[in-house]
Structure 1
Amino acid sequence: MSKLSKLFTRASTGLDAPLVTIEVHISSGLPGFSIVGLPEGAVRESKDRVRSAIMTSKFKFPKGRITVSLAPANLPKSGGRYDLPIAIGLLIASEQIKPNININAFEFYGELGLDGSLRATEGLLPAIIASSQAKHCLILPSQNSGQYTLVNEAIIYPCTHLLKVCEFLQGVSNVDKLVHNLTDNQPIYHNDFSQVKGQYHAKRALEIAASGGHNLLLVGPPGSGKTMLSERLPSIMPPLSTDKALERASIYSIANKPLDITQLKVRSFRSPHHSSSAVALVGGGSNPKPGEISLAHEGVLFLDELPEFPRSVLEALRQPLENGKIHLSRAAQQTTFPANFQLIGAMNPCPCGFYGNGTAKCHCTSDQIDRYKNKISGPLLDRIDMLLTVPPLPKEILLNQNTDNVENSETIRTRVINAHNIQLKRQAKSNDKLAPDEIEKFTNLNQDNKQLLSSVIDKLSLSARAYHRILKVARTIADLENSETVDKAHLIEAIGYRRFDN
């Protein structure tokens, strides 16, 4: 006589977590154990882990023909998360355990050790969020419970062993459930602009970039503070909303990257080495994983020594810079990851780094300087809103230990948040996301300002994209001054950040 059981879990496809129904059927016939439903290698191997876990937990492994179906059949399944639901399904179908709870109200996750212990499983946060929205309870490894209590009102039962799960399902023992209501904890910043001496022009540019979400390129000699300034940009950016923080945490979960809970609402700062490949930067693999641009989602992607990156790697950034997402197509799977990052680049003015520096002599020839600068393509530069020259720090400022009049990040962040809120109230998005028709609507230039821009377009040979980016930056400068109109002073400052078009 055949026996059947059914349980629920979820797969992982990008940031989506589609529901997977696990059906276990035991019938008479020659002993066999097959798993159907597009299982990948780790899932096919689960039958050996499940067999050992059941036997070492003092249960009997069912005899007969065992078929495990992972539905829907056309959805690829990967990872060890299916071990626990398959084992529970086998024990229910073989009538070795009889749940006294509504099994359909639960979802099961976890990789099994050969001794029946539950091991942590990567990439569960999207599944936890989807399960919570479906009003399902979750049974998962205890190692996963800490981070995944981020999900508001998720009901989680953390377990350490297959036996503990079986006892809980049968009502023999209790498992303390975790119900977490997410609170608005104050973000903690480890870097502060008060630690940076001088460089007031650079701080101003970073304040504008943070307020409007603009991309920025810093050019200056070694030791001028380009990296130090960039690392402190997240400390003046508006904190993430709860939804955006969970989206960022989901990306980290899929990539199996640790995320400090105290930094949940602090914007990401990712700084990959210039030897990174295109796949490391944009993501990929046979089972696509997020790359650095997705890990920097709603945060900062800092590329130090920008010309040292392979040109093919830099060109891969062009589409995500425009769209705020990356589409990864592979033979077996197509995935879309969010990549709404703010690009901050840093480079030297020449290969030796001392061109135009009065305190050091540059030994680079004009051909070497041209080749160095030409490593960055025009189309990529066109997508960068602002360029700033960072001069070396004068020794008088460097030796001055009086920091009483230096603005800290909290003061600057207050102005940034105010400008950001103005943008959200006016257009429900930051200025860098404005469409061309919206830019014209919200800048509304007078005739004198149009004449000024006309002469700049001719002088700098600006593209339509560069023209619109000047207007976006000018709109952000006006927002920082709480001005409803974009005035000539705002335009002149914005034009000053397009000098690389000359």
Structure 2
Amino acid sequence: MSGSGVYAVHAACIRGVEAYPVTVEVSMAEGMPGISLVGMADSGVLEARGRIRCALRAAGFEIPRKSITVNLAPGDMRKSGSGFDLPIAVAILAASHQIPEVGLDDTLLVGELALDGSVCSVRGEVAYQLLARASGLALVTAINEQHVPLDSVDHFTLSHIGSLRIGVREAVQRYPHGMPGSEHPGAQPDFSDVVGQEVAKRGMAIAAAGELGLLMVGSPGAGKTMLARRMTSILPPIEEREKQEALCIHSVMGEAVDGLLRGVRPFRSPHHSISAAGLIGGGRPVHPGEISLAHGGVLFLDELAEFSTGVLQTLRQPIEAGVVRLVRAEGAYSFPSRFQLLAASNPCPCGYLGDREIDCACTPHAIERYRSKLSGPLADRIDLCIDVMRPDPELVVKGAEGMSSADLREIVERGRAFRTWREGREGKPEDLGRSKRPLDGAVAAYRLDGGGETTLIQIARAAHLTGRGIVRLSKIARTIADIEESEDVRQTHVLEASMFRGRTGDEVG
């Protein structure tokens, strides 16, 4: 695009997890030779001037001895990243008539320049492809090892800026179409490897079927982490929309996408020393956090009691809404964050409270203080609490077999399918509880029969459950009933649900 002494090309900037269009305008005038950048460019973009000079010189181009002004429009959006190197260099070359202009008007250029003129890939390729598709532009980038080809996108590669002498259309090569590896899910750890934990496996299947938060409490070495890492193997296949959103987030963060391309859901396990910005997103420029990287998969919080209370508090709104909303001076950001929440913790500071063989060395005050951390910030989102005890050594040595991932996946799929059928006929429980049956009690929407209701009341009185604990127990029982393909929640469902309140009882919730 040229006119009035200004030449412009299409570029883009990553903002959060989306690519926004940017127009790179170049104007040349007599004066002190040099390149000046305007348009709210950060330090990373300003460094492009040095890379561009070296790259153009190495490729045999002339650097115009004029005062070159580069404007990144719109001027009210902060620009960051090294992906502006290629469009700025191309705009300068086209404005100085060193390369043909044909094909540049309908091309989106993204890439970093090495000092020898090679074009290097940048983060966020999926976001750039989505923008190119929405804008009706062809996308030109460098070859990317983590390439994710999307449908209906004209995506080309450019290896060296010197190739542009013959024109952009002749210099680029088309990327292959398709989604390699997506038809063949990768091998995942199997639940059959975990012996002596059949009750815990059942609890994980219930959590996956009902999309419920789950806390595992047990002594060190009981197998909590082994169980958690196998959760993705029993979840249903990731939906295409979730997959594309997850691919975009991982691409922007420079994370590997091989697993997602094979259909494997993400599994994220941040260390307990993580900051709030690292967990939910933030920084400068603003980037997604671990809960967004877990989008479509599992977020596992190991050693839950060791996390900062303030950090855990930030999770409550994103878990409820399925999206992170951050507001900064330069605007608002939204990151998808729908995931299966898993957590694990020792029962006490030493880890051996309730252990059958090793005595606990903690004082009552230390135990109470430790438990209070578990019953705090995430209580509303932890529906099930499973006691995970160390398995019998004889079972481990002899290699006893239990339920496999295939067995548990069948349970999960059956429960979700029945829930979908039931909700389609009668509406979601929360909708029924708010509007259709407002006078029938807090748990009426879960469809308890006479025996189930009586048993629920007896358990609530005996365990001194709060209103929140009663609703949570009803939700677990409803999920068990869905697994059994029962329209009503019966006594047996409530009794089994009561098993998953854990040794901490209603305190963890």
Normalising by structure 2, we get a TM-score of 0.89
Match of 2:306 in 1: 308
Match of 1:148 in 2: 147
Query: Following the alignment from structure 1 to structure 2, what is the Cα–Cα distance between the partners of residues 433 and 107?
Result: 47
Cα offset, 1:377, TM superposition: 3.9
Cα offset, 1:196, TM superposition: 0.9
Match of 1:7 in 2: 9
Query: Following the alignment from structure 1 to structure 2, what is the Cα–Cα distance between the partners of residues 77 and 477?
Result: 51
For 1:200-349, list aligned pairs within 5 A: 200-261=198-259, 264-349=262-347
Query: Following the alignment from structure 1 to structure 2, what is the Cα–Cα distance between the partners of residues 105 and 420?
Result: 46
Alignment of 1:75 with 2:77, yes or no, is yes
Query: Following the alignment from structure 1 to structure 2, what is the Cα–Cα distance between the partners of residues 220 and 470?
Result: 21
Distance 1:463 1:87, change over 3 A: farther
Percentage of identical aligned residues: 38
Query: Following the alignment from structure 2 to structure 1, what is the Cα–Cα distance between the partners of residues 375 and 259?
Result: 39
SS in 1 for 2:348: coil
Query: Following the alignment from structure 2 to structure 1, what is the Cα–Cα distance between the partners of residues 149 and 209?
Result: 28
Query: Following the alignment from structure 2 to structure 1, what is the Cα–Cα distance between the partners of residues 88 and 421?
Result: 50
Q: Work out which of the residue numbers 172, 176, 179 in structure 2 matches 1:175.
A: 172
Normalising by structure 1, we get a TM-score of 0.90
Alignment of 1:423 with 2:425, yes or no, is no
Amino acid at match of 2:506: D
Query: Following the alignment from structure 1 to structure 2, what is the Cα–Cα distance between the partners of residues 335 and 312?
Result: 21
Paired residues of 2:38 and 2:70 also in contact (CA < 8 A) = yes
Amino acid at match of 1:229: L
Amino acid at match of 1:410: A
Query: Following the alignment from structure 2 to structure 1, what is the Cα–Cα distance between the partners of residues 467 and 22?
Result: 48
Alignment of 1:485 with 2:488, yes or no, is yes
The CA deviation string for residues 271-295 of structure 1, in whole angstroms up to 9 with x for no partner, is 1222222222222212112221111
Cα offset, 1:226, TM superposition: 1.0
Cα offset, 1:363, TM superposition: 2.0
Query: Following the alignment from structure 1 to structure 2, what is the Cα–Cα distance between the partners of residues 419 and 166?
Result: 61
The CA deviation string for residues 423-443 of structure 1, in whole angstroms up to 9 with x for no partner, is 345548xx9995554896862
Amino acid at match of 2:279: L
Which stretch shifts more, 394-403 or 431-440?
Answer: 431-440
Query: Following the alignment from structure 1 to structure 2, what is the Cα–Cα distance between the partners of residues 485 and 252?
Result: 42
Paired residues of 1:235 and 1:413 also in contact (CA < 8 A) = yes
Paired residues of 1:242 and 1:265 also in contact (CA < 8 A) = no
Match of 1:127 in 2: 128
The CA deviation string for residues 208-259 of structure 1, in whole angstroms up to 9 with x for no partner, is 1111211111111122111111111111111212221121121112222222
Match of 1:501 in 2: 506
The CA deviation string for residues 357-409 of structure 1, in whole angstroms up to 9 with x for no partner, is 22122222212211221222434223200001112212332222353xx3321
Match of 1:359 in 2: 357
Paired residues of 1:9 and 1:21 also in contact (CA < 8 A) = yes
Paired residues of 1:207 and 1:412 also in contact (CA < 8 A) = yes
Query: Following the alignment from structure 1 to structure 2, what is the Cα–Cα distance between the partners of residues 51 and 226?
Result: 55
Amino acid at match of 1:4: V
Paired residues of 2:140 and 2:158 also in contact (CA < 8 A) = yes
SS in 1 for 2:247: helix
Amino acid at match of 2:415: A
Distance 1:401 1:31, change over 3 A: closer
SS in 2 for 1:351: coil
Paired residues of 1:222 and 1:348 also in contact (CA < 8 A) = yes
Query: Following the alignment from structure 2 to structure 1, what is the Cα–Cα distance between the partners of residues 229 and 321?
Result: 25
Query: Following the alignment from structure 1 to structure 2, what is the Cα–Cα distance between the partners of residues 461 and 432?
Result: 28
Match of 2:193 in 1: 195
Structure 1, unaligned runs of 5 or more: none
Which stretch shifts more, 30-39 or 154-163?
Answer: 30-39
Cα offset, 1:312, TM superposition: 2.0
Query: Following the alignment from structure 2 to structure 1, what is the Cα–Cα distance between the partners of residues 362 and 444?
Result: 47
Match of 2:407 in 1: 411
Amino acid at match of 1:217: L
Match of 1:137 in 2: 138
Distance 1:289 1:478, change over 3 A: same
Match of 1:111 in 2: 112
Structure 2, unaligned runs of 5 or more: 436-441
SS in 1 for 2:202: helix
What is the total number of aligned residue pairs between the two structures?
493
SS in 1 for 2:278: helix
SS in 2 for 1:11: strand
Paired residues of 2:198 and 2:403 also in contact (CA < 8 A) = no
